[in-house]
Amino acid sequence: MKKDRVVIALGGNALQADPKDTTAEAQLITAKQTARPLVDLIEDGHELIIAHGNGPQVGQIIATYEAAAGVPIMPFPECGAMSQGYIGYHLQQAIREEMVYRGIAKSIAAVVTQVVVDKNDPGFENPTKPVGSFFSAEEAARLEKENGYVMKEDAGRGWRRVVASPEPIGVVEAPIVKTLVDAGHVVITVGGGGVPVIDKGNGILEGVPAVIDKDFASEKIAEILDADYLIILTAVEKVAINFNKPNQKDLDIVTIKEIKQYMNEGHFAPGSMLPKVKAAMKFVESKPGRKALITSLEKAKEGIEGRTGTVIVNR
């Protein structure tokens, strides 16, 4: 079997198995479980670049600062960087430990990664991504006035801060990541979609309060690193049309033309499967011969071997 350069985008369930248990100890246990199928791919000889989400973790960091009376609110980009650091640490520990058990002599590094976005991205005009704690209408009004936040009511549960979700256009640390991968190391990068930054000119970067979708950031780094495969891991084994209906149909190998038709027919939920499908399509269309796989963490090895999952191809 051909040994591929593979970018893996880990879903939230790969880091936090029980949404009610948000402790660091629980996350490390889950990371150790997550490491096993990832190391299966390393053991098979594939070059692995790992990306991950950070939604619950960055939310916890923000909420902690919001709840601490008298403590200045930590800027959002710094919260993203903090989440990259501690999630990366857990994944480094877990994957390295699993490689040691199997006698695999590889190093692994987590790179705090900045991802460039366009300051004129339309997402900044209408922030929609909720982050942090819930507040009363009065508290929300105060935060808007004092901190310049954009606050929106969230399904009757209270008011929350919302930030933009712009598209990634570049990865600042990509040359470093490429050097590490070319040298045979396993790399964790663009965690949580990366810390969003804008180019102020003359190479000066500035962090901005935003959330970059981790699937799109994974697609961007996969393009830059000239990966063979983008594997997006989620809670289901295969993408389906007519999901949760009597006529549900799981998709095996699907062409760009077919997946676009299903997308236009509204088969994929905007906050769930749609961004994964869009990221997969973008990667496959970026260069001939590239493939994207969407499957569950447990089925990653079988998926890359062509035995399960949904594979999107450009033909």
Sheet holding 229-234, edge to edge: 108-110, 186-188, 47-52, 5-10, 229-234, 291-296, 310-313, 253-255
What confidence score (pLDDT) does residue 16 get? 77
Judged by DSSP in three states, 77 sits in helix
Residue pair 233/11 in contact by the 8 Å Cβ criterion: yes
pTM of the model: 0.92
Chain centroid to CA 206: 21
Please state the length of the chain: 315
User: Rounded to an integer, what distance in angstroms lies between the CA atom of residue 91 and that of residue 54?
Assistant: 13
Q: Which residues are catalytic?
A: 12-13, 129, 214, 276
User: Rounded to an integer, what distance in angstroms lies between the CA atom of residue 166 and that of residue 77?
Assistant: 14
Give the pair of three-digit tokens for residue 191: 């965690």
What confidence score (pLDDT) does residue 70 get? 60
Sorted by where each begins, the domain ranges of the chain are: 5-35+45-127+164-227, 228-271+281-314
For the domain with range 5-35+45-127+164-227, which CATH number is right: 3.40.1160.10, 3.40.50.2300, 3.40.50.300, 1.10.10.10?
3.40.1160.10
Phi, psi of 181 (to 5 degrees): -65, -45
Q: How far is CA 72 from CA 64, 142, 195, 203, 311, in A?
A: 11, 15, 20, 29, 47
What confidence score (pLDDT) does residue 62 get? 85
Each residue's pLDDT expressed in tens, for the chain with a length of 315 residues: 568 999 999 987 688 777 677 788 888 999 999 999 999 999 999 999 999 998 888 888 888 887 776 666 788 999 999 999 999 999 999 999 999 999 999 999 999 999 999 999 999 998 988 887 888 899 889 888 888 889 999 878 899 889 999 999 999 999 999 999 999 999 999 999 999 999 999 989 999 999 999 999 999 999 999 999 999 999 899 999 999 899 999 999 999 999 999 999 999 988 789 999 999 999 999 999 999 999 999 999 999 999 999 999 997
Judged by DSSP in three states, 206 sits in strand
**Cβ contacts of residue 14 below 8 Å, gap of 6+?**
30, 34, 52, 233, 297
Residues paired with residue 108 on neighbouring β-strands, in sequence order: 186
Judged by DSSP in three states, 46 sits in coil
